Structure formats: structure tokens, C-alpha cells
Amino acid sequence: MKKICFFLFLICCQVGLFAQEREVQGIVFDKDTKHRLVRVYIYNMRTHKGIYNNSKGEFTTNLAKGDTLVAALSGYGVDTLTVQMQGTLLFYLKRTSIQLPEVTVTDTIKNPAARLAKTKKEYSEIYRKGSTKDMLQVGGPNGMGGAGLGIDALWNLLSREGKNARNLQKIIERDYRDMIINYRYTFNLVGNVTGLSNEDLKDFMLQYRPSYNFIIEANDYMLIAYIKNAYEQYRKNPSLNRLPALVPGGNR
């Protein structure tokens, strides 16, 4: 009987909470350029549900006062916003990867591992919801018994909450890898090795940006050798690896 009463109490609480929700619109901008950003993942810390904004940088979702939203996009820092039931919600994301020529913003990124640890601490609930550790539990009470499935880990694996949390984790991890690359592959280093500057430097760095796996394995000598070899290719054909321009309104 007590369990039934407790269950009914939880249902009443949920009904009361949902009754306070209303539909809210939002827009996500690049903090520096003020351009709208698309395919941004918007995650609600209370409901553990996530959505992507549309091709206009806009999103619509049901929210309650006090909800905390997390906006995440690869190449940008994660940002949070607490809902006070104001009008349109506005996110301004700060780019962490290469953006402007002759600007050494990426050189100032100190200790990406420490920044990742700080992010994990700030969003510990997300990492808990998305965790599938301890899937197989060995031993019962007092260390006796056989192997079994961990209920919490199984729930995190199969639930929508767990999937949404892992989706956000992937974006955070990609952002961390971008920071690792930017930490070593800098405007100062590449400019000194190649002699390039301004738009040519930016163009070269975007075309020959090294992979995360190479960066973590390469020493300084290997990195400089890579830049020199890439520069020789760039001199022969400056547009060899250049991506085609995006067509506004085209297929995504």
C-alpha cells in the first residue's frame, strides 16, 4: 500500500511539473560573427532530452522555469542557459577551432585535458546518465553468487535519456580533440615554418589540418616535418584539398 501511495505521489508531482511547462523558442549564434549556427544540440538537464536546431539556427521545445539547457556544437565551447521564462532564448557559442587569420586565440588554450576534466565535472549528471560501465556485475551479497547484469548500466544503455546523454558526450569529446589539435597546430608555428600569413595561412591550415591521432603521436620534429611536406604540396596546387563552398539552402 505504501508503495502504491508513493507511486501516486510521484505521478502527481510529474503532472504538476508538466503543467508548468510551455513552448519556448530559441536561436543559436556564433558569439564573434553573430551568424546563426545550425545542427546545434540542445540538451535539457532536467528531462535529459535533446533536440537539434533547424537550418535557420532556431529551435522550439517545451520548458519549465528553472530548466538548464546545454548547447553543444563540435568546434565550439559548450554553453549553458537557465530558463527564466523570458521571451526567445538566445545562445552565443564561442568557437574553439581556427576562425580568423593572424589571431593566436588557439595558442592561449592551456591544458585541454584539464578543461575536459572541468567540463566532465560541470556536467557529471550527463556522464552518469550516459555511462554503461558495470554492465556485468559479478558476485552477490557478501561476494557470493554468479554474474549478473547491472540494472543502472542496462537502463543507461537502453533508455532515451542515456542515448541523449551519450550524444552530448560525443560532442564534448570532439570539442576536446579539436582543442588538442589547436594546442599544437598554431598560427605562430605554421606561419614560422611556411612563411605564410593572412588568408594564405588560414587557407593552408584548414586544408592540411592534421588528425587528432597524428597530433597525440607526433613529437615536435614530426609535426614540423609534416607541415613542411604539406607546404610543398600546397605550393604545387593551392586548392588541392580545399572544400567546395557551401550553397545556401542546399541539401545537408
pLDDT given for residue 136 in this prediction: 41
In 80-159, which ranges are continuous DSSP H helix? 112-122, 124-130, 151-158
pLDDT given for residue 91 in this prediction: 93
- Residue 50: alpha-carbon gap to chain centroid: 13
Cα(170)–Cα(28) distance, rounded to whole angstroms? 20
Cα(1)–Cα(113) distance, rounded to whole angstroms? 51
Helix, strand, coil proportions of the chain in percent (round to 5)?
A: 45, 20, 35
pLDDT given for residue 104 in this prediction: 41
Cα(63)–Cα(161) distance, rounded to whole angstroms? 16
pLDDT given for residue 128 in this prediction: 63
pLDDT given for residue 114 in this prediction: 73
Write the Ramachandran bin of 140: left for phi over 0, alpha for psi from -120 to 50, otherwise beta. Answer: beta
182-to-109, 190, 193, 233 alpha-carbon distances in Å: 8, 11, 16, 22
Strand order in the sheet with 89-93: 58-63, 22-30, 89-93
DSSP element (H, E) containing 5: helix 2-19
Phi, psi of 96 (to 5 degrees): -110, -15
Write the Ramachandran bin of 229: left for phi over 0, alpha for psi from -120 to 50, otherwise beta. Answer: alpha
Residues in the chain, total = 252
Instruction: Compute how many other C-beta atoms are within 10 angstroms of the C-beta atom of residue 123.
Output: 22
Each residue's pLDDT, cut to its tens digit, for the chain (252 residues) gives 544 444 444 555 554 444 488 899 999 999 988 999 988 989 888 888 888 999 899 999 999 999 999 888 877 888 888 998 778 899 999 887 554 343 343 444 446 667 667 766 766 665 565 555 544 444 444 444 444 444 454 444 445 666 677 777 777 778 778 888 888 899 999 999 999 999 999 999 999 999 988 888 888 889 999 999 999 999 999 988 876 654 444 444
What predicted TM-score, i.e. pTM, was given to this entire model? Answer: 0.46
pLDDT given for residue 227 in this prediction: 94
- Amino acid identity of residue 174, one-letter, is R
